[in-house]
A = this chain, B = another copy of it.
Amino acid sequence: MTRIFTGITGLDEMLEGGFLANKIILVRGGPGAGKTIFSLQFIAEGAERGEKGIYVTLEEPLNSVRETAASLGFNLRNFEEKNTVKLVDGSQSVYRFGEETRRNYDSSKPVVSQIASQIVAEAESFGACRLVIDPITSAIIHQRFPTDKRLEILELMKSLRKIKCTSVITSESSSPSEDEFFVEEYLADGVIILAQTLRNFVVTKTIRVEKMRGTRHDDQPRKYEISDKGLVAFNTEPVIV
């Protein structure tokens, strides 16, 4: 089976060589965990290998994403000019559809289904084989009930399964106990958790492959750092604190 290199130092080794092609990977973590950095490394890794990638931001402005990329040494503009990377600002659509949902609650259509078709069309016309949606959380905050949030995500997953892309979706959630985000994890083919554990006034950062359909994987948490080369996972070392 084709392996898709993740671009994260140390992570491919935890995954028997990388992601499986055309799977949907959820990357979950709290504020500051490095989800956007993870996503950028995934896209840049592809770009350097000639695998076209689309980066859909549902929250951060495009320029802020480009700045973060630059701080990691990735020249996104360059990739964009070469037509190997495309940045899409989905935040306006999400906001507009979301506002409609809020105001006309009872007659609302799922926000995600409206943007999912746009994303799918973009990905197909661009010929992308890597896709990032960062973060999915923005698309569902307009919904008042957990049930409706779940259905939003279900819609998105269904759409993404129609295209030939390996997708990374980020999720802003540090606590797994909130059942409204739970559905993301079981609908995705893979789940990677970036945890920042605060214990006795020390923060420990760990990356864990919680789930990865169709491949064996290291199931233990491993320390990671955010350096000027992005996320680096220390996959061969046990976590000692």
Contacts and interface: CB of A to CB of B under 8 A. Distances in A.
B205 A219 contact: yes
A61 B161 contact: yes
Interface stretch (A79-87, A123-131, A169-177): A169-177
Contact of A67 (B30, B161, B214, B228): B214
A55 to B, nearest CB: 15
A46 interface: no
Interface SS of chain A: mixed
Nearest to A101: B147
B201 A221 contact: yes
A50 to B, nearest CB: 26
Contacts of A187: 59
Contact of A172 (B158, B186, B204, B227): B186
Contact of A183 (B141, B148, B202): B141
A205 to B, nearest CB: 7
A191 interface: yes
B142 A31 contact: no
A152 to B, nearest CB: 11
Copies of this chain per assembly: 6
Contacts of A163: none
Interface string A205-220: 1101111111110011
Among A71, A102, A182, A183, the one with the most B-chain Cβ atoms within 10 Å of its Cβ is A182
Contacts of A100: none
A32 interface: yes
B210 A216 contact: no
A108 B148 CA distance: 16
Contact of A154 (B60, B95, B196, B202): B95
A239 interface: yes
A93 interface: no
Contacts of A175: 177
A3 interface: no
Given A61-B161, A191-B31, A206 B214 contact: no
Across the A-B interface, the 7 shortest Cβ-Cβ residue pairs: A32-B211, A201-B239, A31-B211, A31-B185, A172-B186, A32-B210, A144-B147
